[in-house]
Amino acid sequence: MSSNIKLLDGGFGQAIINKGLDQIGTLWGCSAYLNEQDHQKVIDTHLDFINAGSKIITTSNFTIRKRRLAQNKLEDKLNDFLKISGKLAQKAVKLSKKKIEIAGSLPTRGETYKSDIFLSDKELLREFQESASILNPYVDLFYLDVLCSYKEIELALESIKNFDKDVIVGIHLKDTGKLPSGENIIGLKKILSNYKIRAVIGGCISPEIYQKVYEELKQLNYEYGFKINAFENIPDDWSITPNANPNLSLGKRTDLDPDVFVDFCKKAINDGASFVGGCCEINHHHIQALSNEL
Per-state percent for the chain, helix, strand, coil, to nearest 5: 45, 15, 40
| Strand 275-278 versus strand 167-171 pairing type | unpaired
Please give the Cα distance from 200 to 222 (Å, whole number).
7
Beta bridge partners of 231: 252
Please give the Cα distance from 55 to 206 (Å, whole number).
22
Phi first, then psi, for residue 256 (nearest 5°) are -130, 60
* Residue 141 Rama label (left phi>0; alpha psi -120 to 50; beta): beta
Q: Which helix (H) or strand (E) holds 141?
A: strand 141-147
Each residue of 173-192: pLDDT tens digit?
Answer: 999 999 999 999 999 999 99
What average pLDDT does the segment 269-290 reach?
97
Please give the Cα distance from 90 to 84 (Å, whole number).
10
Residue 38 has pLDDT above 70, yes or no: yes
Cβ–Cβ < 8 Å for 145, 131:
no
Residue 3 has pLDDT above 70, yes or no: no
Residue-range domains of the chain with CATH: 6-293 (3.20.20.330)
Between 12-16, 263-267, 269-273, the lowest mean confidence (pLDDT) is in 12-16
Helical axes 39-52 vs 78-96, angle rounded to 10°? 40
Residue 122's alpha-carbon distances to 5, 132, 157, 227, in angstroms, are 37, 15, 14, 29
Taking the complete model, does pTM exceed 0.75, yes or no? yes
Each residue of 47-104: pLDDT tens digit?
Answer: 999 999 999 999 999 999 999 999 999 999 999 999 999 999 999 999 999 999 999 9
Please give the Cα distance from 233 to 223 (Å, whole number).
27
Cβ–Cβ < 8 Å for 202, 208:
no
Residue 209 has pLDDT above 70, yes or no: yes
- The pLDDT > 70 percentage for the chain reads 98
Mean pLDDT of the chain: 95
- pLDDT band, residue 111 (cuts 50/70/90): confident
